[in-house]
A = this chain, B = another copy of it.
Amino acid sequence: MSKIKLGILGGGEDSLIGILHRVAASMFDRYEIVGGVFDIEHARSLSFGEKLQLDSKRIYRDLDHLIKEEAQLPENERMQVISVLTPNFLHFPMAKQLLENGYNVICEKPLTTTYEEAKILQKTQEKSGSIFGVTYTYTGYPMVRQMKTMISNGEIGEIQKVDVQYYQGWINPLIHDKEKRSNTWRLDPEKSGISCCIGDIGTHAFNMAEYVTGMRISSILADLNYLYEDNPMDIDGTVLLRFSEKVKGVIRASQIATGEENNFTVKIYGNKGALKWEQENPNYLYLLKEDQPLQVLKPGHSYNSDFSLEGTKLPPGHPEGIFDSMGNIYLGIANAIEKNTKFEGAFPPLAEGLRGMSFIEKTVASHKKGNVWIKMNDK
């Protein structure tokens, strides 16, 4: 099975979302990045592509060129799917053009800037029959998937209350200063659509509420906060949810929850139990039952569903972030190799391995001699 050929639009240089998508694409050895348009300026796009060691011929000037020139390649070399990581207002025209040309698409959220555009996109996809994924990232966590499975298996019975919170504080230092708030693109309706807080994070909360419950919200009542009259965009809001007459819920989203980082929590209450999950500690899923001990489920255990286990690469107790830890050590070694610096601490040098062996041997010796002190002579 050969790797899927992946093209990328946007996400160049220091783009965080670019890093996230590239690493994600590498995780299961299933994708090969073959080219794209990384930047609106072709020179920068080219130099970034070079850093990724891509064939410079496939670093295109723009999307039109990409589509035209990829079509010239032998079919088994062409991009099979393209990730759209550009600013929000470009999602729609690019995704549409890609669909019209038969590409599978991975698109960052929000999908478009208006509902109208999104409907057009949907019709376009229906014609093309392409695969189209929107990266609501948080639905990929193993314990979110476990939550979804357990709910659909009836583990907590019939749902009777849904409570989703998405609190951040990042806009607080900007919103109270008139100049700053008028210069923030997130607060500019032309660039960000009609909503800031709900558009950016409320939409994650909404998607998650429907994703894990498998239910559809039938109506909503919202109260938003703009804080200042000259601010056209909501930066905080509470939305009452009605799934059905009996099943209610609430989404709370804020960007002025000062000091909060990315506090996205999901609580689903059924008539037989409840499930809770918090994005900032994504390896824990809490199962509550009446008059029973609280249960804490973690990834990688055999009690999890196949769907959850498929997304876990390491044994229990290895938080997913361990990839990053190892990644940092590889970075330290790369720096050492290329710059010939050997910064103490950036990676464990051979001497530490040596010392570790000494420790093992002396520990066993201390024990075998009757638990006595032994010197660690070496350094």
Contact = CB atoms under 8 A, between A and B. Distances in A.
Interface stretch (A59-67, A69-77, A367-375): A367-375
A324 B371 contact: no
A140 B145 CA distance: 28
Contacts of A51: 1, 29
A257 B269 contact: yes
17 contacts: A30-B334, A104-B333, A106-B330, A107-B353, A131-B342, A140-B332, A141-B321, A193-B360, A207-B348, A219-B376, A224-B367, A238-B240, A238-B250, A240-B373, A259-B287, A282-B321, A294-B298
Interface in A303-354: 303, 307, 310-311, 313-334, 336-338, 342, 345-354
A205 B354 CA distance: 15
Contacts of A52: 29
A379 B333 contact: no
Contacts of A97: none
A24 B131 contact: no
Given A219-B374, A224-B367, A258-B290, 6 more contacts: A117-B357, A134-B349, A238-B240, A261-B316, A291-B316, A371-B373
B256 A290 contact: no
Interface string A225-250: 10100000010111110100010101
A353 B222 contact: no
A102 interface: no
Interface stretch (A36-44, A179-187, A272-280): A272-280
A333 B81 contact: yes
Nearest to A288: B259
Given A261-B298, A296-B296, A356-B207, A221 B319 contact: no
Contacts of A2: 53
A271 interface: yes
A58 to B, nearest CB: 16
A354 B133 CA distance: 11
A35 to B, nearest CB: 15
Say how many copies of this protein the assembly contains: 4
Given A207-B356, A296-B296, A307-B345, A323 B24 contact: yes
A110 B353 contact: yes
Nearest to A264: B317
Contacts of A32: 53
Given A24-B326, A131-B337, A364 B53 contact: no
A90 interface: no
B303 A292 contact: yes
Contact of A4 (B156, B207, B315, B334): B334
A360 B198 contact: yes
Contacts of A172: 271, 290
Interface string A90-112: 00000000000000101101111
Contact of A27 (B211, B331, B371, B372): B331
Given A172-B271, A269-B256, A353 B221 contact: no
A246 B231 CA distance: 12
A371 B227 contact: no
Residue of A29, A292, A374 contacting most chain B CB atoms (<10 Å): A29
Contacts of A351: 122
Contacts of A112: 353, 357
A190 interface: no
Given A27-B330, A110-B360, A321-B141, A221 B373 contact: yes
